Amino acid sequence: MLDHAWGAREFTASDVMAATGLTRSTAIEAMDTLAEMGLLEELPNARLAGDYRKGRPARRFALHADAAVLLGVDAGHTHITATVTDLRSHSLASHRTTHQIDAEGPDDRRRAVLGTVDEALRRAGRSRGDVLAIAVGVPAPVDATGRSPRHPDGFWERMNPDLAEALAWAPLVRIDNDASLAAVAEGAVGAAAGCADYVTLLAGDRLGAGVVVDGRLLRGAHGGVGEMVAFDHVEGVGSAYGLGAMAATWARAAVAEGRLTPGGALAGLAADDLDGRRVLEAAAAGDPDAQAIAERVGAVLARIVSVLGSMFDPRRVVVSGAIAAGVADVVDAARLALPTDLHLPAPELVISPLGADVVVTGAVSAAADAARTAALDVWATRQA
């Protein structure tokens, strides 16, 4: 009954009977029970609502969307974004902070995440006690318990310093890799909606991949599926730097070596002022130096896509994240450079429409999935 309510705008006992096969008496009893628990709300009947029908008007119900809130968090390397939604994932408030994370210890990281969450709740007019489910994306592999393995320089532990424990005041908590949550978003409302086999390539400062095979998000023993460090050893790639970082590095080298066309868009910039966004914007505007760099990045992307295609056999690879808005030239070049000698059909390469909020969008979707699965258990425990 509750699952039906989550997917329906409003409904009557007859609607539930048709959708679930329940008898009328069972459907009415379940609706009344869920209304008493606060998970459903009874709406004005059809006659009071102005939709006149002969005979006794049917009782109408809907999910009580304000009964609790969901939290989606993108706890990135230098920023933290928290979004509060109602049970239907309608946004109520967001808050974003920036940090020099590498200079902070685990306690600072936990305080930063909790502070951002609490401020988002304050802006939404809610409190921790109203939270039913929270999902957090971090730039680190995460295992099924919400913990990250050790990293040679401690980076993963800094990004995920036992956040599952720090957020244990919420009934339902999911800590996950940020690229995995980006994949959740793409499958739910993005470029992979309706696709059961795809890879989301989160192209931030470094590359990360969320892998979905046969409709299931893959994790691995330590949460390492989709970690891209292996590309440090792949000829033609050489590192796991993000697409924008590659473009900026090569543009700065060209400036330093005096290889840019005099009077061009890039030639007039100091090396320190060049970032991936500016290089890709210049390429889109037709600057030949920037276009050459975009083609070079595209060739690397093609190699990455071909390796992912051989490993996971996806139908689609989605370039996702904030950089996606400016990578049309890179993706066009990558499509032309995709190898044809890998036996399997090359995956379709597409650009995400979700922009910089893809991780927090996936986190909200993951929180909603958890809530939809376990809300009844949480409410039963509260009322026991």
Q: State whether 71 and 170 are in the same domain.
A: yes
What range defines the domain where residue 54 resides? 2-63
pLDDT-derived band at 49, boundaries 50, 70, 90: low
In this structure, are 230 and 309 located in the same domain? yes
In angstroms, the CA 51 to CA 358 distance is 40
Q: Say whether pLDDT at 194 is over 80.
A: yes
- 116 within a domain of the structure (yes/no): yes
Q: Which has the higher per-residue pLDDT, 314 or 238?
A: 314
What is the per-residue pLDDT across 52-100, written as a single tens digit (0 to 9) for each? 555 567 899 999 999 999 999 999 988 999 999 999 999 999 999 998 6
Q: How much of the chain, in percent, has pLDDT values that exceed 70?
A: 95
Q: Which residue has the tokens 């920036």?
A: 98
Q: Which among 202, 182, 179, 199 is positioned nearest to 190, based on CA atoms? A: 182
**Is residue 358 assigned to a domain?**
no
Residues 312 and 226 in one domain: yes
- Co-location of 205 and 233 in the same domain: yes
Instruction: State the chain's mean pLDDT as an integer.
Output: 90
265 in the same domain as 334? yes
Question: In which order are the strands placed within the sheet that holds 131-138?
Answer: 91-98, 79-85, 69-75, 131-138, 172-177
Model pLDDT, residue 276: 87
